[in-house]
C-alpha cells in the first residue's frame, strides 16, 4: 500500500506539473499558456457582448434559450479555469513557498475575482435569488480582464519608472523599447473599437436594424468617439517625444499634418460638427465619413506600410503610366463625343459624360448603360478596349513587382540583423522578441522564421564563430553543433559549405611554405592517412601551372 500511495502521489505531482507547464507557465514558450489566456479573454468579451444583447428585446426574446446555453457553457469554462488554477497553485512560484499554497492562491485578488464571477450562480441552487440580479453579476467577469492588464501595467511602470509623464503616454501609444505588452493591449483595444464602430455604421444603414437599435447605435458611436478622441489627444500631446516633432507647437502641428493623424482627426470630427451645428445646417451626410475610421487600421498593418513605401519609391514610373492612361481616357472621350453626340445626345451629351464611358471601356468593365451605336464609335470602342487590357495592367504590374521586391529587400534586411545578432554565437531573449516582431510584420510563418534563423546560424557558425581571442568559445561551439545538425538535413547547404571550406584550404596552402607542409603531411604522427592525402592533393593542385588561355 505504501508503494502504491507513493506511486499515486508521484503520478499526481507529474500531472500537476504537466498541467501547470502546459497552460499557466509563462516561462515556457512552446506551450498553450498564451492561447489559453487569449481564449479566456475572448470568452469574457463575448459574455459582455451577450449581456448587452440581452437588453435588446429584438435579439433576446426569440433566442432566450441560446443565451441560456451560452451562459451555462461560459460558466462551465470559467469554473474549470478556477479549479485548474487552484489545483496547480503548489507549482506556481508565487504561492509554492507558502505553507498552504492553494489557500494562499484562494486569498489572492485574482482568485477572489474568479470566484466571485462564478459563485453566485452556484449559490442560486441553494438560495432563492432574483435572476435579474444574477445576470447583472456577470459584469463581475469583466474584472477577470485585470489578470492580463495588471502584469502588463506593472511591467510598463517598471520599464518607465524614471520617465516623464509625457514619455509614458508616448510609449503607450507608440512602439518604443519601453512599451512592453501594455502597448500591444492598447493597440488591440483601438483596433477592436475601430471594427465595432465601422460595423455599427454599416448596420445602421439597414432600416430594419436601425429601427430597433437606433438609441444603441447612438450610444455606441458616442463611446467610440470618446475613445478615438482620447487617443488622438494622447498622440498630439506626446508627439514632441519624437525627435522629428520636438518643437512645442510646430512639432505638434507637423505631427497633426501627417496622413495618419489626418485620418484620426477625420474619424471623430463629423460627430462634433453634427452635434454643434445641427441646428444651422443639415449635416447628416457627414455620418458617412465615420467610415474613415476603417483607415485607422492602416497604422497597425505592416502590409499597408510596405505598400505605401512601394508607391513612394515607384512613383516616378507610376506617374508615367498614369499620364499615358489619362491621355488615352481623354482621347477616347473626345472621339466618342465626336462620333456619338449627334446619334445619342442624351448619353454623349458632353465630353465629361463621355469620360465615364471611356474609363469603363478602357477598364474592360463594360456596364452597358452607355454604348456607341455608330460604326465609327464602335470602331473606337474596339481599339480602346484592346488598349485598355494592356494600359490598365501596367500600374498593376509595376506595383506587384515592386511589392515583391520590397518584401525581398526587407527580408534581406532581416537576415543582416540576424547576422549581427549572431556575432556572439547566441540570440538573447530581447533579440528573440525583436526577431519575432519583425517576422510578424513581414508575415513570416514560424517555419519560415526557423529556416532563416538556422541558415544564419550555419553561415555565422562557419565564418564568425571565433571569439575575441581567435578561438572558438562555448557559444561558438554550440552554434557549430547546431549548424552540423542542420547541415545533415540540408545536403544542398552542406555542399555549399564544403565548397567554401575547400576554397579556404586552397588559400591557406597558397600562402604557406609548401615544402614544410609537405614534410608535415608525410609524418604519420601529425596527420591521419586521409588528412595526409588531402594535404598532398591540395599541394599538388597549388603547384600545378594553369594552362594559358587563347587570346
Digit-coded pLDDT (tens) for 135-164:
566 666 677 777 778 888 888 888 888 888
Q: Which pLDDT score is estimated for 234? A: 92
Query: Quick one: pLDDT band at residue 119, thresholds 50, 70, 90?
Result: confident
Q: Is the pLDDT of residue 325 over 50?
A: yes
Work out the average pLDDT over 206-230: 84
d(CA 456, CA 464): 11
What is the average per-residue pLDDT within 381-388? 84
399 assigned to some structural domain: no
pLDDT in the model for residue 470: 40
- Domain end among 330, 360, 391: 391
Please indicate, yes or no, whether residues 129 and 237 belong to a single structural domain of this protein. no
- pLDDT attached to residue 3: 59
pLDDT tops 60 at residue 479: no
Residues 291 and 384 in one domain: no
- CA 551, CA 549: separation in Å to the nearest integer? 6
353 lies in some domain: yes
Half-sphere exposure of 381 (CA within 13 A, CB side): 20
Distance CA 271, CA 220 (A): 12
Task: Calculate what percentage of the chain has a pLDDT beyond 90.
Answer: 3
The mean-pLDDT minimum among 230-239, 258-267, 420-429, 467-476 falls in 467-476
pLDDT at 56: 76
Neighbours of 357 (CB within 10 A): 25
Give Cα separations from 7 to 12, 13, 274, 422 (angstroms). Answer: 9, 10, 73, 46
Handedness of CA 230, 231, 232, 234 (dihedral sign): positive
Q: Is residue 426 part of a domain?
A: no
Does one domain contain both 169 and 295?
yes
Asked whether residue 206 falls in the same domain as residue 285, the answer is yes
Location of C-alpha cell 464602335: 378
Q: Nearest 5°: CA angle at 168, between 164 and 172? A: 170
Residue 525, pLDDT above cutoff 70: yes
Q: Which of 145, 180, 197 is the last residue of a domain?
A: 145
pTM of the model: 0.61
The verdict on 319 and 384 lying in the same domain is: yes
Q: What is the rounded average pLDDT of the residues 407-415?
A: 78
3-state SS class at 472: strand
Is residue 455 in a domain?
Answer: no
Total domains in the chain come to 4
Nearest in space to 475 (alpha carbons), one of 429, 420, 426: 426
Judge if 96 and 59 occupy the same domain.
yes
Task: Supply the pLDDT for residue 485.
Answer: 58
Question: Could you say which DSSP state residue 344 is in?
Answer: -
Which residues sit opposite 472 in a β-bridge?
466
Domain range for 294:
160-300
- Asked if residue 174 and residue 128 are part of one domain, the reply reads no
pLDDT mean across residues, the chain: 77
301 backbone φψ class: left, alpha, beta (φ>0; ψ -120 to 50): beta
pLDDT value at 254 more than 60 = yes
Residue 425 lies in a domain: no
Name which of 53-57, 122-126, 393-397 the model is least confident about. Answer: 122-126
**For residues 48-77, average pLDDT:** 82
* Residue 368 falls in which region: left (phi positive, over 0), alpha (psi -120 to 50) or beta: left
Domain boundary among 391, 414, 438: 391
Residues 328 and 387: beta-carbon distance below 8 Å = yes
Amino acid at each position: 500500500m505504501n508503494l502504491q500511495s507513493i506511486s499515486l502521489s508521484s503520478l499526481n505531482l507529474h500531472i500537476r506539473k504537466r498541467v501547470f507547464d502546459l497552460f499557466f507557465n509563462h516561462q515556457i514558450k512552446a506551450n498553450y499558456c498564451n492561447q489559453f489566456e487569449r481564449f479566456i479573454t475572448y470568452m469574457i468579451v463575448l459574455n459582455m457582448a451577450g449581456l448587452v444583447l440581452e437588453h435588446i428585446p429584438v435579439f433576446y426574446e426569440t433566442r432566450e434559450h441560446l443565451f441560456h446555453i451560452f451562459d451555462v457553457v461560459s460558466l462551465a469554462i470559467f469554473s474549470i479555469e478556477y479549479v485548474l488554477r487552484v489545483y496547480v497553485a503548489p507549482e506556481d512560484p508565487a504561492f509554492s513557498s507558502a505553507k498552504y499554497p492553494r489557500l494562499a492562491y484562494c486569498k489572492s485578488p485574482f482568485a477572489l475575482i474568479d470566484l466571485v464571477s462564478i459563485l453566485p450562480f452556484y449559490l442560486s441552487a441553494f438560495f432563492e435569488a432574483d435572476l435579474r440580479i444574477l445576470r447583472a453579476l456577470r459584469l463581475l467577469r469583466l474584472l477577470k480582464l485585470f489578470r492580463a492588464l495588471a502584469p502588463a501595467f506593472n511591467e510598463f511602470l517598471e520599464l518607465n519608472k524614471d520617465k516623464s509623464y509625457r514619455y509614458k503616454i508616448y510609449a503607450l501609444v507608440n512602439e518604443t523599447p519601453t512599451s512592453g505588452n501594455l502597448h500591444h493591449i492598447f493597440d488591440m483595444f483601438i483596433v477592436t473599437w475601430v471594427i465595432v464602430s465601422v460595423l455599427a455604421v454599416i448596420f445602421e444603414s439597414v432600416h430594419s436594424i436601425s429601427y430597433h437599435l437606433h438609441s444603441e447605435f447612438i450610444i455606441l458611436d458616442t463611446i467610440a468617439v470618446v475613445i478615438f478622441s482620447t487617443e488622438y489627444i494622447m498622440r498630439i500631446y506626446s508627439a514632441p517625444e519624437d525627435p522629428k516633432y520636438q518643437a512645442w507647437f510646430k512639432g505638434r502641428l507637423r505631427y497633426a499634418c501627417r496622413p495618419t493623424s489626418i485620418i484620426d482627426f477625420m474619424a471623430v470630427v463629423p460627430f462634433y460638427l453634427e452635434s454643434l451645428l445641427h441646428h444651422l445646417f443639415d449635416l447628416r451626410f457627414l455620418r458617412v465619413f465615420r467610415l474613415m475610421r476603417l483607415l485607422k487600421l492602416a497604422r497597425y498593418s505592416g502590409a499597408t506600410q510596405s505598400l505605401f513605401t512601394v508607391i513612394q519609391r515607384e512613383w516616378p514610373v507610376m506617374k508615367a503610366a498614369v499620364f499615358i492612361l489619362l491621355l488615352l481616357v481623354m482621347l477616347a472621350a473626345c472621339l466618342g463625343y465626336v462620333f456619338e453626340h449627334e446619334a445619342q445626345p442624351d448619353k454623349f451629351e458632353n465630353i465629361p459624360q463621355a469620360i465615364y464611358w471611356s474609363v469603363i471601356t478602357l477598364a474592360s468593365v463594360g456596364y452597358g448603360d452607355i454604348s456607341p451605336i455608330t460604326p465609327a464609335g464602335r470602331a473606337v470602342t474596339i481599339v480602346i478596349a484592346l488598349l485598355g487590357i494592356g494600359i490598365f495592367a501596367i500600374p498593376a504590374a509595376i506595383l506587384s513587382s515592386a511589392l515583391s521586391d520590397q518584401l525581398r529587400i526587407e527580408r534581406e534586411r532581416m537576415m543582416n540583423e540576424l547576422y549581427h545578432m549572431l556575432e556572439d554565437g547566441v540570440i538573447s531573449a530581447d533579440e528573440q522578441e525583436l526577431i519575432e516582431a519583425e517576422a510578424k510584420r513581414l508575415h513570416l510563418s514560424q517555419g519560415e522564421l526557423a529556416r532563416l534563423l538556422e541558415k544564419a546560424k550555419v553561415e555565422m557558425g562557419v565564418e564568425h564563430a571565433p571569439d575575441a581571442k581567435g578561438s572558438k568559445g562555448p557559444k561558438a561551439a554550440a552554434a557549430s553543433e547546431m549548424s552540423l545538425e542542420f547541415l545533415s538535413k540540408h545536403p544542398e547547404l552542406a555542399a555549399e559549405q564544403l565548397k567554401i571550406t575547400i576554397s579556404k584550404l586552397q588559400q591557406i596552402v597558397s600562402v604557406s611554405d609548401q615544402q614544410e607542409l609537405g614534410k608535415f603531411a608525410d609524418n604519420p604522427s601529425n596527420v591521419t592517412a586521409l588528412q595526409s592525402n588531402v594535404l598532398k592533393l591540395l599541394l599538388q593542385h597549388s603547384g600545378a601551372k594553369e594552362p594559358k588561355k587563347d587570346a
